[in-house]
Amino acid sequence: MSVFKNVPGMMLLIFSSISLFAQEKNTIQFTNQSFNEALQAAAKSNKLVFVDCYTSWCAPCKWMEKFVFVNDTVHQYFNKQFINFKIDMEKGEGIALREKYKVTSFPTYLFLDAKGNQIHRTGSKMSVAEFLTEAKRANDPGSTLAAMEKKFNAGDRSLQLLTDYAIVLQRVNGGQFDKVRTELITRVKEEELNSPLGWTIIKTFAREEEDKLGSYFIAHQQSFKAFADEASIRTKLSQLASSTMYGLIRSKNDKAFFDKLTLILRDTSAVAQRNAVMLQVEYYLTNKNTEAFLATARTAQAGALRNNPDDLSFIARRAGYMSNGDTAVQKQCYEMARLAAMLEPEEYSNQATLAEACYVLGYKEEGLKAARKARQLADLETSKIQKLAQAIIDKIEKL
């Protein structure tokens, strides 16, 4: 009888083990080998080594691990195509590898051959599609960073190479990216912009309505319907308008600001609606229009930004800084900070922002809870952040 009594527990243990195994498999599988052993495995399997260069305090690294590495297409591709190796750049052999490969930002992703030569390189927070594109570049001998660099240094200045090279460089080498982007924009002719490649150039590198790419796009936007869908065209138009509008806020050109805001609001895409919110918030805070700020912030909190902890927390910090002691604004900052912390409680900046908002309003108990959580999370950050987190606790305790 005792054997049968234990059957439910045994079954639960078995199913739990299976579930845990499945969860572990549904992500990129990183080897526990040393770096040299990973290179040896690459030599035997005729694969590249994918190296995830991270630090314990890197928020984008954690985001990639949580939202991109677990994507089915991503982990299936990486587990099949690469020897996957991850290393903390501040510990053990990571310190020497950081120096060897000149890793200065995180995350950085290296694709190495079996001899440790860098074949391709990328980095930063990116979407599933972007991450897969970079991985496939690494496996295409003609599309890697190393291959494009060699062609560029040999004098190749074709538009296709300049475009592809600049796209890769913008994630890994800002100085060289600026050089190649400038040369690309200088070389491309207007008639060449009216093409699929021209659309890629404009979509990727146009920054302002008045620059060469932006002005051509605005003047000929209808012709781009042959190469791009309506939503993509609207999104690019709203991005260009947004970059111009921050200048209009600074110059206090109210009419031009609202004319362009109307254009952005016509675009119902999530990106455009988010941009519109951020622009309106900045405009109303700058012009000390509390009523309009509160209306915009409350609508956004319930709508466009309801699932966006980064922007909610940013507005809470920005508005708190610009509140000039206005209690209504400070309370709205608190509401947005609280929602951000609820949505993403393990993010240091969200808890620190909530703690600061509570301090301003005198909410000692809730403020201490958020501040202590922020201090705990700060253990994964720099010593400077740890000191700032402790300072928040110290001042709230004095309330």
Catalytic residue positions, numbered? 58, 61
Tokens 């109303």 locate to 284
Cβ atoms 227, 196 nearer than 8 A: yes
Cβ atoms 137, 168 nearer than 8 A: yes
Record the tokens describing residue 218, joined without a space: 């605005």
First to last CA, the chain: 62
CA distance 317 to 310: 11
Rounded to 10 degrees, the C-alpha dihedral 11/13/18/19 comes to 110
3-class secondary-structure state, position 352: helix
Neighbouring C-beta atoms of residue 23, cutoff 10 Å: 10
Task: Return the H-helix or E-strand segment holding 52.
Answer: strand 48-54
Alpha helix locations (H) across 103-173? Answer: 128-138, 145-153, 159-169
Going across the sheet that includes 108-112, the strands are 82-88, 48-54, 108-112, 118-123
CA distance 154 to 157: 9
Record the tokens describing residue 186, joined without a space: 């200088």
CA distance 83 to 334: 46
